[in-house]
Structure 1
Amino acid sequence: MTSTYRPNESKREEFRRYLEKGGVVDAVTRALVALYEEAEKPNNATEFVRRFMGASGPDSAEIETIKTELMAVREKFDELVRENEILKEKLQKYENGERGQ
């Protein structure tokens, strides 16, 4: 039984050394300590850690705002496409009427 357990332990130890060597353990530890020391805990701890570790990109609130704006722009676009079709039809009728006279 111990022989099947040891390879897993060996792989875990190897992975742990890999994370330590790459500075991952220190970076995660610093992020967690900073979160612990925050006087007012953020609503989204994951977002805090992401930002602390230097991840760029919009946060959850920014993503929601962008999604809302995108939906509004799509609605306006659809409205303008419909208006454009109506105006094309009116223009076609007008041009056909002009030629008929």
Structure 2
Amino acid sequence: QAADSKREQFRRYLEKSGVLDTLTKGAATPENPEIELLRLELAEMKEKYEAIVEENKKLKTKLAQYEPPQEEKRAE
């Protein structure tokens, strides 16, 4: 029971000091607009990255048609 009493006192302290209100508002308010902008920028960068990786694969394939394999180069 002593633990329950202390827990209740602590809860009242948190309410009086405004901690619970702050936590509730923080959980309920929409996120910072800067965070959303960063998310959009990250998504854009991921798309660009994927496009570059795909282009790189295509260029490597194209280049392989004009260059001998690495093993043959070393033998020369």
Into which bin does the TM-score normalised by the smaller protein fall?
A: 0.5 to 0.7
User: How much has 1:46 moved relative to structure 2?
Assistant: 2.8
User: How much has 1:63 moved relative to structure 2?
Assistant: 1.1
Alignment RMSD: 3.6
Please name the residue that 1:46 is paired with.
25
Question: Which string of whole-angstrom CA distances, capped at 9 and with x for unpartnered residues, describes residues 27-70 of structure 1?
Answer: x38x98xxxxxxxxxxxx935xxxxxxxxxxx521111111000
Of all paired residues, the percent bearing the same amino acid is 38
Amino acid at match of 2:25: T
Match of 1:90 among 23, 37, 62: 62
**For 1:75 and 1:82, how far apart are their aligned partners in 2?**
11
Please name the residue that 1:69 is paired with.
41
Which fold has the larger relative contact order, with Cα–Cα distance below 8 Å and residues 6 or more apart in sequence? Answer: 1
Q: Which runs of 5+ in 1 are unaligned?
A: 33-44, 48-58
Structure whose residues are more often helix by fraction: 2
Q: What TM-score, normalized to structure 1?
A: 0.45
Number of aligned residue pairs:
62
Amino acid at match of 1:64: E
Amino acid at match of 1:46: K
Inter-CA distance 78–7: structure 2 relative to 1 (3 Å threshold): closer
